[in-house]
Amino acid sequence: MKEEVLSIIEDILKCDRETLIEQINSKNLWDSLLRVEIFFAIEEEFGVQFTEDEFGSIETPAQLCEAVIKKVEK
């Protein structure tokens, strides 16, 4: 599942996997508009919904991967 999330992020950010992995804990990898686009794409792909609090607290790709996995496994 993590691989699928990373693929969505790569597609939207137009970056390669190596760059994404190197910056997986970076808060600066995406801007606010790209972040919203990524969240919407993930919600659509996995059939999950993020609350406003979750949206505000997830700041890095690593945090997003963890959150998606937790939501899907519920």
CATH of the domain at 6: 1.10.1200.10
Task: Please report where in the chains the tokens 């910056």 appear, as a residue.
Answer: 23
Dist. CA 66–CA 63, nearest whole Å: 5
Number of folded domains that form the chain: 1
Reported as a single tens digit per residue, the pLDDT across 7-23 is 999 999 999 999 999 99
Range of the domain at 27: 2-73
Q: Are 60 and 25 in contact (CB under 8 A)?
A: yes
pLDDT of residue 42: 97
Dist. CA 23–CA 52, nearest whole Å: 24
pLDDT of 74 > 90? The answer is no
Reported as a single tens digit per residue, the pLDDT across 61-73 is 999 999 999 999 9
